[in-house]
Structure 1
């Protein structure tokens, strides 16, 4: 297929591509979809709602096309097609009659006699499956209890998000997929709190909790899909990585929204926080340690049956790091991330037209010499960007009574490139001239600032193999903490 296909956009008054003719156009190899689901009105009545629209490539599996999705309360059926323009006009998904509140199980609907398996047989089969599942769960529970009796109990570990803990999948990667698909209808948007090149971030409420909802532009389907894919990686959850709750595609009847729902941190991004905050050395070290801990977990591969692949971020910057209430940080925005697939010994790079932030690009990225088949090269590019973030943080650290000497907040290379530097601007400074951000002389007089200055200089070294790894930086900061008795976390 050389182009996208045209799809019906149900109730189309504002379709994603901006047309007003009730259609939208997919990307190459995209899908048209139609859904029918039960929705509850404000009056408490249950109605059937049909929506239709466009899906990006590879979404058919995620949305479980041509299958019935049956949450506890309101069933939903999704069907997809991509054989011709407007193919979803003929799609008329139907809810299974035995799931309807008005059709009790065991009664055959009129007009369906002899047309398929009897509902009573389906009910019997379902009961048999449920019985097998119950016995399997009971056996698994007994085995776990026997194992637990052989080892000392672990200390309690708080879940990053109370609501997510309630129905977590257990993999550490957010809610079960079926539950995720019902979340969008339970979200109440409160206010817009930020905009970027990918879309807009909203403060919202879900089950009484404050959450952040990232609403992607329709042109950023690849970023939404990639970020969802990365967040759902097994063992991805970490206290210094933004807590993922759910991803959903929400059809409003006239257009489609791609949502990413995460924990909400009221202090905002590190970039915004440093504009006004002044850090003392312990706070600086704790914040730096939390950032590098998150990056070390991301870069780490965990082997095993349910292992975690090594992941490189590719867009580390202060705007993609959030500040938590306890002063630690959480790394966010994984729309550009790449994974290393150890089984195939290859780098999994998402088909994404976005590039990283030019100001934070490593010399080898600017010089276009980065070896895209070498996963270590992506990790070392992350380390260069981390060095620049540490520089931003150190400028806002006051030592003793010398608070007046704190440098004003500034972005890296603020004094040598424009506010929105081009690729050539950054290449001329970072590659051609080999410049790096200046280190104020006062930093050498404060142990914490001096230690971080030495680390950042090794992180942004021109030669990638010479740069420190995230784990090495983390261990160095931990040793500094032990030697100086500075509380890091």
Structure 2
């Protein structure tokens, strides 16, 4: 990237040198040309240009955009185009369109490159009119006949004296100095105007569009949460999910994008991150956007409300979910090509934060409360009782957390056991009737949970969601139930690790879905449901 920046700086500096040198050539003619120059077009200080940068479009297609050139300390603005040519088709290939600092050579309403030969195989033109760089053209013009030929044609004799030669040499020296100054000046201007490599997500507003704003249409709201809302959005290249954070949840917005941007977080069972944006609207309202891949099946929680799963589907969902949690928890040492990936604790693991892909594999989302554990670094200010109350481990409810990495990872494992319970409760593998979807502890404590109820029942009385005997009639479901019980063990030291969960679930998939006699178990299961509904 630094090489690209230096190459671009050299190109612009070279152009400035050529312009400076051209301005020192002796001119011949009458005063008419000077009058014409004085009458040349001088637009307003602020203009609009078409923006395009080919480097922004490597990962996803993008189209040229209309931008308002930022203020440059009172200096006039222009527009420019830098392009090459396809050697096979002779079609122009645009590399960059953007704003440009005023120069006399840009004082025209059309973007035309008159140079007879290209500079470094590229064409460059600039202009001084709103959106004048939308169209561009190369009109190579041969150089003017030499001074000697003009003298012969006009029967005039113009000779450079020793003094004029000295002046010309002085101008060349000044041009070289100007080249150095211009190169450094343009480098700093490009940092401000072009914003090629932002160190943080840009601040966007409706009244002043930024080149990094993505063309997203918000179509419908798909979910609400403590942070704000999740929208289904549409971009030119497909659908996206847009998580809109309120200003009070800015910290979660920052934390989540930082987690997504960590090394080696591009994983099939971690939700794919696209970008983050800050939007400031004309009425002063501020929104923080997090843009991710859209998963049409939604969360595991929503899916289980309207679907049951068979044994193969349960295994696919459970194993891929465990694989994602294992990758999140794993610390991967750095290599020559990749930096270290720290261990990450989710701290709000639940079925709402597990999304399903069209093939029913799972991916983990929502890292607004996540913690990363980089070796040799502190994890910062920690608050114990965070997350969703229903999924809180007993040690969180008791306020007895050991603030170290393993303790936080085991809290995720406890919640994973509850999510696996939700999955088993909607599985038809045992052959009996499947009850309606219920959240963990909904049968025992209801929907409206209070912290005191959770402390008394889950932490003090060691209450857990019920595992029905009908589930244990299937050898595979029975094995999953045993894994669940080891995940939500009251003693956090006795809980499984996420890697162990994944290994067990991958082994469980060898069990086949079998038909069983359900005459007795069906009546018992219906009786249980009727009793619990009272």
For the criterion TM > 0.5, the same-fold answer is: yes
Q: How is 1:89-108 mapped onto 2 (pairs within 5 angstroms)? A: 100-101=79-80, 103=100, 107=104
Gaps of 5+ in 1: 1-37, 48-70, 79-91, 111-116, 130-168, 170-174
- 1:240-279 equivalences under 5 Å are 240-254=269-283, 255-279=285-309
User: Which among 289, 310, 332 is matched to residue 280 of structure 1?
Assistant: 310
Partners of 1:304 and 1:237 lie apart in 2 by 15
Confirm or deny that 1:332 pairs with 2:362: no
Aligned to 1:437, the other structure's residue is in SS state coil
In the TM superposition, what is the alpha-carbon distance from 1:407 to its structure 2 partner?
Answer: 2.1
Give the gaps of 5 or more residues in structure 2.
1-45, 52-62, 81-98, 108-175, 189-196, 205-209, 514-534
Instruction: State the partner residue of 1:447.
Output: 475
The reply on whether 1:226 has 2:255 as its aligned counterpart is yes
Larger Rg: 2
For 1:248 and 1:206, locate their aligned partners in 2 and report how far apart those are by CA, in whole Å.
15
TM-score by structure 2 length? Answer: 0.60
Identify which range, 255-264 or 352-361, moves more after superposition.
352-361
Measured against aligned partners, the alpha-carbon deviations of 1:339-386 in whole angstroms (never above 9, x if no partner) come to 112033x33457x898210000000000000012x1110000000000
Find out whether 1:290 has 2:323 as its counterpart.
no
Q: Are residues 1:361 and 2:392 paired?
A: yes
Secondary structure of 1:415's aligned partner: helix
Residue 370 in structure 1 maps to residue 392 in structure 2: no
Q: Does 1:323 align with 2:356?
A: yes
Whole-angstrom distance in 1 between the partners of 2:260 and 2:74: 31
The Cα of 1:448 is off from its aligned counterpart by: 2.0
CA shift at 1:184, angstroms?
3.7
Query: Does 1:430 pair with 2:424?
Result: no
**Are the structure 2 counterparts of residues 252 and 399 from structure 1 closer, same or farther at C-alpha, using a change threshold of 3 Å?**
same
1:236 counterpart = 2:265? yes
For 1:111-150, list aligned pairs within 5 A: 121=180, 124=183
Pick aligned residue for 1:421 from 449, 458, 474: 449
User: Is residue 477 of structure 1 aligned with residue 510 of structure 2?
Assistant: no
Counterparts of 2:442 and 2:65 in 1: how far apart (Å)?
54
- Residue 347 of structure 1 pairs with residue 379 of structure 2: yes
Q: Distance in 2 between matches of 1:440 and 1:327?
A: 25
Aligned counterpart in structure 2 of residue 210 of structure 1, from 221, 236, 239 = 239
Rounded to whole Å, the distance in 2 between the matches of 1:217 and 1:278 is 35
The answer as to whether partners of 1:251 and 1:257 remain within 8 angstroms in 2 is yes
1:386 is matched with which residue? 416
For the 8 Å contact 1:314–1:338, the answer to whether it is kept is yes
Determine if contact 1:338/1:348 at 8 Å carries over to the other structure: no
Following the alignment from structure 2 to structure 1, what is the Cα–Cα distance between the partners of residues 444 and 487? Answer: 20
Question: What secondary structure sits across from 2:222 in the alignment?
Answer: strand
Contact 1:311 1:337 in 2 (8 A): yes
Count of residue correspondences: 353
C-alpha contact (below 8 Å) 1:336/1:354 kept by paired residues: no
**1:216–1:257 Cα contact (<8 Å) kept:** yes
Tell me which residue corresponds to 1:162.
Answer: none
* Change in 2 beyond 3 A, CA 1:96/1:396: farther
Cα separation, partners in 2 of 1:368 and 1:103, compared to 1, 3 Å: closer
Q: CA offsets per residue over residues 426-454 of structure 1, 9 Å max, x none?
A: 11110111111111111111122111101
Given that 1:107 and 1:119 are in contact with CA atoms closer than 8 Å, whether structure 2 keeps it comes out as no
Hey, what does 2:522 align to over in structure 1?
A: none
**In the alignment, which residue of structure 2 is the partner of 1:463?**
491
Query: 2: CA distance between counterparts of 1:227 and 1:317?
Result: 16
Distance in 1 of aligned mates of 2:334 and 2:304 = 40
Residue 362 of structure 1 contacts residue 384 of structure 1 at CA under 8 Å; is this kept in 2?
yes
CA distance in 2, matches of 1:99, 1:440: 74
Residue deviations 1:300-332 (CA, integer Å, cap 9, x gap): 011115111100000001111111100011111
Matching residue of 1:18: none
Quote how far apart the aligned CAs of 1:98 are: 6.9
CA RMSD across the alignment: 3.6
Counterparts of 1:120 and 1:75 in 2: how far apart (Å)?
Answer: 29
CA–CA distance in 2 between the matches of 1:361 and 1:294? 20
Contact 1:105 1:120 in 2 (8 A): no
How far did 1:478 drift?
2.0
1:273 deviation in Å? 0.4
Quickly say closer, same or farther: Cα 1:285–1:118, change in 2 above 3 A: farther
Secondary structure of the residue aligned to 2:379 is strand
Give the Å deviation of 1:251.
Answer: 1.6
Counterpart of 2:165 in structure 1 is none
Query: Aligned partners of 1:100, 1:310: CA distance in 2, in Å?
Result: 48
